Structure 1
Amino acid sequence: MSENEPIKLTLKGSPREIGIQHGRSLREQIHDQISIYDRMFQSTSKLSWSDVREVAKEFQSTLEKLTPHVYAEMEGIAEGAGLDVLDIIALNSRSEIALGKFSDGCTTLCWKKNDGARLLSQNWDWTATVKKNLAMVSIEQPGKPTIYMVTEAGIVGKIGFNSAGVGTCLNAIRAKPMISSKLPIHVALRLCLESTSVKNAVETLESLGGVASAQHILCADSTTALGLELSPVGDKYIAEDASGIIGHTNHFIENRYVDEPPWLSGSPIRLERLQQLTQELIEEGIKGDSITPALLRDRIFSDTYNLPQAICCEEDPLRPISNRSSSLFNIVMNLDPKHLGAEVVFGRVGSGEEGPVLRMPWN
């Protein structure tokens, strides 16, 4: 498999069985992820991997208590990959452990079509060193919707949708505080992807006490979309605007519960650009079935205004090489129950170097 056409995994069974399959299938990639994040933690936070594992111990008790099935899956991943469970917890808590010092930027968009169906989409921007360790994963669990997601090796929840038509996208936010007695954001994403509706997802996160760090999850189903501006000290939910749109980048729009100093100068510019591009399409009369994945890739997600911090992000040579970001994949999910599925393109869409259009489900 090439970086532009990654491994596709189908995982089935109990949490432990799913984890073991994951760990065995992506053993090499998981070990490489640890090496990548070890270097990144040292660069951004002056933390060695042993320091990171110490922080992961705090999340270990949280996961055992709040989400024992997810913890059992992490134990399985560790067993399959020949690692300690703390290594896997650290990967799944990397956003929290670094206290938001990473510089990942993403642009997310949900657009309600005339028939009520929603397209949920994003460019996922991160260091190019992890691109070779991405995988397209389906997870079949008894009594739960089947999950289809793009994730990093070793990480249990990310960007995707499920057979109940619930989808998730993610924007990193840099803000304090971090509270390790709450859910890491990648675990929160997994719980959303196990939900039967946006309402169910929100209720689940609230019932478990919320998330450990400030992040934005754009969550949608066939009837509802909400921008979940989450933090350990208070949440805000953003509804669709009059055009049926929610757009988000890497700063909070409404949540004022946290200490959020400016960090990605391009984030407000990207949000304004996203709003401008969607408005142009609306003024052109684009609606209903005219809102297609190809249109969104061509007219929005390939946009290079304000490079390198564009919607289609390019590596900034002025940043340390360990945490330079670029757009690693684009995903557009159709959450219409009659046409449920997603198109994924790895690489920077519109660059001429991106990969083919891949589909989820792929069976």
Structure 2
Amino acid sequence: MNAEPTPTTTTTTTASPGAAPIPRPAHRRHVRVAADDPYTRGTERGGQLRDGIPAAIEAYDRLFALGGVSPAQVREDAERALDAIDRFRPGARAEIEGIAHGAGVDVWRVAALNARTEILARSTVVPPGECTTVVRIRDVDAGDNPSAAGVFGVQTWDWHVELTDGWHTLESRGGARGFVGLTENGILAKIGVNSAGLALHFNILGHVRDGIGGVPVHVLAAVVLGEAGGVDEAVDIVRSAPLGSSGSFALFGEAGGALLDLSPVGVFEARAEHGYLLRTNHFLTAVPAADEKSWLYQPDSGERREFVRARLADAKPPETAADLVGLLVTGPGEPPVTCVPDPGLPLGRRWASLATVTLDPATRTANVLDGTPADAARGPWRTLTAR
């Protein structure tokens, strides 16, 4: 299948008055793959990203090196991650191998992209990005009608501004479940919804034991989206995975959801609050929080969460996912829920909200904005449906 044309021009967006403009592709790449065989799906994807994957490798090489991870260590980590993936889901390894073949790069290079969170956990210089997620679920205890519409979510995906060109939207079909969403070049999955109506929002967390040795969290997201028929099944898949690093999956369907703390010391479920699953970048359960890398995110993560929590308390109950987007718009003097880069900071510390994503499990729809929540009114949004 043919990918959309590689952009030759860029546009710039500014999240708030006085903020640094963020150069963005004029035409965000969209990748479609459809094959029963995972290696073939990977080959199709890699072929469509022959220019994007080498650029992603180069960007992450710079971040790995900045964090003090040598090229030899990156390769060793990538190969260990690939072995863990193979033990957990051989089909996921086959798809990574297919991506490498299609893109014309070494397999370990694509494995390193999929394990970038785990490899970067070695660094004390390059902190992870920051994201904010809100999922509206039915709160029967608070009087919500169990049959009423209203299970949907929104998140910002905040990451290094150097990766602005390094992501695409995706339709993947041919596995047990088709799914759509957003991911980075060469990485199996990140944020999305599948054909069974299972939606997944993804945030990174930090634990002192984070590292290589388990299934990379991005690969686990792909397995969940490609297999799970509902929230309970998704939770079971997550609990079955040996984990070497931390993250959060907000998993939800038409009937409700689960907010999970993922960590090397276990998987723990956080409670909904007043009909919402609300996540920034710190653990919400006691066991992993006891050994959290709190210096990575605090006080920022707590301030962002409390800021959005107060907004939710004051706001009219949302009727659609689009109603949640405005709650994530922030400006000068407010916690950086809408994240804009500071051009004066060095590589590894220039954060930006690279995308805003809403998920609606009832319609199996992901809406992806190539921009911050502040850009919502002027777009461009891309609507994807998993059927």
Amino acid of the residue matched to residue 62 of structure 1? A
Amino acid of the residue matched to residue 35 of structure 1? E
Shift in alpha-carbon separation, 1:163–1:352, aligned structure 2, 3 A: closer
Task: For residues 111-163 of structure 1, give each alpha carbon's deviation from its aligned partner in whole angstroms, at most 9, with x where no partner exists.
Answer: 02551541121000011221212111111124x12110100010001001111
Where 1:359 maps in the other structure, the secondary structure is strand
Which residue of the other structure, out of 79, 104, 118, is the alignment partner of 1:96? 118
Report the equivalent of 2:252.
Answer: 220
Which residue of the other structure, out of 226, 233, 240, is the alignment partner of 2:265? 233
Q: In structure 2, what is the Cα distance between the partners aligned to 1:259 and 1:311?
A: 21
Q: In structure 1, what is the Cα distance between the partners aligned to 2:38 and 2:178?
A: 13
Where 1:350 maps in the other structure, the secondary structure is helix
Superposed, 1:42-191 pairs within 5 Å as: 42-43=65-66, 45-99=67-121, 101-112=126-137, 114=145, 115=148, 117-142=150-175, 144-178=176-210, 180-191=212-223
Amino acid of the residue matched to residue 357 of structure 1? W
- CA drift at 1:96: 0.6
Shift in alpha-carbon separation, 1:177–1:131, aligned structure 2, 3 A: same
Which residue of the other structure, out of 270, 274, 295, is the alignment partner of 1:262? 295
Kept in 2, the 8 Å contact 1:216–1:230? The answer is: yes
Where 2:169 maps in the other structure, the secondary structure is strand
- What is the TM-score of this pair, normalised by structure 2? 0.85
Runs of 4+ in 1 over 4 A off after TM superposition: 351-354
Task: For residues 279-305 of structure 1, give each alpha carbon's deviation from its aligned partner in whole angstroms, at most 9, with x where no partner exists.
Answer: 111xxxx33xx522332222x122236
1:9 equivalenced with 2:31 (yes/no): yes
Contiguous gaps of at least 5 residues in structure 1: none
1:275 equivalenced with 2:309 (yes/no): yes
Which residue of the other structure, out of 301, 315, 318, is the alignment partner of 2:328? 301
Q: Which moved more, 1:100-109 or 1:160-169?
A: 100-109
Report the equivalent of 1:36.
Answer: 59
Shift in alpha-carbon separation, 1:40–1:180, aligned structure 2, 3 A: closer
Amino acid of the residue matched to residue 168 of structure 1? L
Shift in alpha-carbon separation, 1:60–1:78, aligned structure 2, 3 A: same
Task: For residues 189-212 of structure 1, give each alpha carbon's deviation from its aligned partner in whole angstroms, at most 9, with x where no partner exists.
Answer: 112212111110111122233x22
Amino acid of the residue matched to residue 97 of structure 2? E
Contiguous gaps of at least 5 residues in structure 2: 1-6, 11-24, 139-144
Aligned residue-pair number: 349
Kept in 2, the 8 Å contact 1:20–1:76? The answer is: yes
CA RMSD, 1 decimal = 2.1
1:292 equivalenced with 2:320 (yes/no): yes
- What is the TM-score of this pair, normalised by structure 1? 0.90
Shift in alpha-carbon separation, 1:306–1:17, aligned structure 2, 3 A: farther
Q: In structure 2, what is the Cα distance between the partners aligned to 1:192 and 1:219?
A: 10
- CA drift at 1:4: 5.8
Report the equivalent of 1:199.
Answer: 232
Where 1:310 maps in the other structure, the secondary structure is coil
Kept in 2, the 8 Å contact 1:165–1:335? The answer is: yes
Amino acid of the residue matched to residue 260 of structure 2? L
